[in-house]
Amino acid sequence: MAEHTAFTASYFYICPVHYTIIDIETTGGNPKNSKVTEIAIYKHDGEKIIDEYSTLVDPEMSIPPFIVNLTGISDSMVQDAPKFFEIAKEIVEFTEGCVFVAHNVGFDYSVIRSEFRSLGFDYRRPHLCTVRSSRYILPGHDSYSLGKLTRSIGIKLIGRHRAGGDALATAELFGILYQKDKNNLENFIQEELNPKRLHPNLDVDALDELPNKTGVYKFYNDVNQLIYIGKSIHIKKRVEQHLRNSKTKKAVQMQKEISRIEFEMTGSELIALLLESQLIKQHQPIYNRTLRKNKFPFGLFNYKDETGYIRFFVGLTSKLTETPLTSFSNKKEGNHYLERLVEEHKLCKKLCDLYRTQSSCFQYEIKECAGACVQEEAVEDYNKRCQDVINQLNLNEASFYILDKGRERGEKSLILVENGSLRGYGYAPFHFNKTKIENWSNFIDLYTEDRDARTILKLYLRKDTKHEVIPF
């Protein structure tokens, strides 16, 4: 017989927010076509478990052998268990008014929603992921998998890969997170979408089909007008943020107008950034025009002063006609970057607008500056190091490919930079790099570089370390 327990929570109204810590076992790893074989739920008030519910579930299909080996749940164990539709009402009632909590909540929540959707019911709860919140509240662990994390913080996990054992360990982890940093933990709660606030033509169920991968997304209104273009490394998550946003009137108004959503996966974040910029210029969607601000309003500039020394400074790009060497979101970020250049290339802080003085800079006094600030270092020597910086930021007119993730398994993305300029990008089979590099250009679609594209490229090369650069 299936274990099947349920208790009425007599404490429900003591605390304004309750949490249901949930774990499920399933027939597979794909939320879209996996069926539940076991579910365990612990209701938690932030301090303790106050109620529980658990049962095996008949998935109405054969359980694959590798799942049997992993969980120990076999066809014979679930043959007398209730089917999901028989326990659906109990789950709805037990989780009503609660936050849905799970370790890697995206999987458990998606499977449960899929099960309910097959019954014609739209199951929605605010939800919280203990993986994401643990990374923030309990930083520094080598792994945030449930088994390794609980072991490293002293939680006993009895019954790994069974819903009851995993859910109970997650509940203990949740209690630690709640007691350690309740306020920040609550910031990780993802509020569910309210269909009443959205356009009636928008298929809310179709949002579940959006990929949580890198690419560009587009919002259309009910007359098929493209009204907004964005990019994200998690398309689904970012789109849902748009649809939940109630902080500004413009965001709420845009929500009401979105009747259709399209997306284009890019694999590479750099390609997503370039494609977003290109499409916005091409279509000029109304909400990109009204909401868009200059993402990088500050730039690094250089000039020669009256004594011939090259000087650097961080300034507003809107006030200067020159193209910056690189760009920044704010002045503080720019100055931090300039500080690093000073240290790496032994530049003078005074000549980089980082130390205001009429005489020598402080670094000169402690013998860390060669004296360009008081004209003791030869102009040629100092300017040679400055020119190295300028050449580096102008990509040294180099030619190279940037290799990154593809849109799917079995492919890679390529971005071609030739003589320091962006030439184009494309996709190739995963093992294409075994072919001659002269043939790689066959995979490239040409791209017309502009100031924004050049800024995007430089920022990406400066900040991202996961890509591979192949010079030629």
One-letter amino acid for residue 307 of the chain: T
Instruction: Give the model's pLDDT for residue 433.
Output: 82
Which parts of the chain have pLDDT scores under 70?
A: 1-16, 290-294
DSSP-assigned beta bridge partners for residue 127: 100, 190
Whether the pTM exceeds 0.85: the reply is no
What is the rounded CA–CA span in Å between residue 309 and residue 322?
A: 19
Is 3.30.420.10 the CATH classification of the domain at 4-187?
yes
Three-class secondary structure assignment of the chain: CCCEEECCCCCCCCCCCEEEEEEEEECCCCCCCCCEEEEEEEEECCCCEEEEEEEECECCCCCCHHHHHHHCCCHHHHCCCCEHHHHHHHHHHHHCCEEEEECCHHHHHHHHHHHHHHCCCCCCCCEEEHHHHHHHHCCCCCCCCHHHHHHHCCCCCCCCCCHHHHHHHHHHHHHHHHHHHHHHHHHCCECCCCHHHCCCCCCHHHHHHCCCCCEEEEEECCCCCEEEEEEECCHHHHHHHHHHCCCCHHHHHHHHHCCEEEEEECCCHHHHHHHHHHHHHHHCCHHHHHHCCCCCCEEEEEEECCCCCEEEEEEEHHHCCCCCCCEECCHHHHHHHHHHHHHHHCCCCHHHCCCCCCCCCHHHHCCCCCCHHHCCCCHHHHHHHHHHHHHHHCHHHCCEEEEEECCCCCEEEEEEEECCEEEEEEEEECCHHHCCHHHHHHHEEECCCCHHHHHHHHHHHHHCCCCEEEEC
- Whether the Cβ atoms of residue 102 and residue 129 lie closer than 8 Å to each other: yes
What is the rounded CA–CA span in Å between residue 45 and residue 17?
A: 7
What is the rounded CA–CA span in Å between residue 218 and residue 62?
A: 40
For residue range 72-85, what is the model confidence (pLDDT) as tens digits? Answer: 999 999 999 999 99
Instruction: Give the model's pLDDT for residue 294.
Output: 67
Instruction: Give the model's pLDDT for residue 12.
Output: 34
Q: Which CATH number fits domain 195-291: 3.60.20.10, 3.40.630.30, 3.40.1440.10, 3.40.718.10?
A: 3.40.1440.10
For residue range 208-246, what is the model confidence (pLDDT) as tens digits? Answer: 889 989 999 999 999 999 999 999 999 998 999 999 888
What is the rounded CA–CA span in Å between residue 318 and residue 315?
A: 9
Query: Could you tell me which of 130, 236, 267 has the C-alpha nearest to residue 188?
Result: 130
Instruction: Give the model's pLDDT for residue 49.
Output: 96
- The residues spanned by each domain of the chain are 4-187, 195-291, 298-393, 396-471
For residue range 344-372, what is the model confidence (pLDDT) as tens digits? Answer: 999 999 999 999 998 999 999 899 999 99
Length of the chain: 472
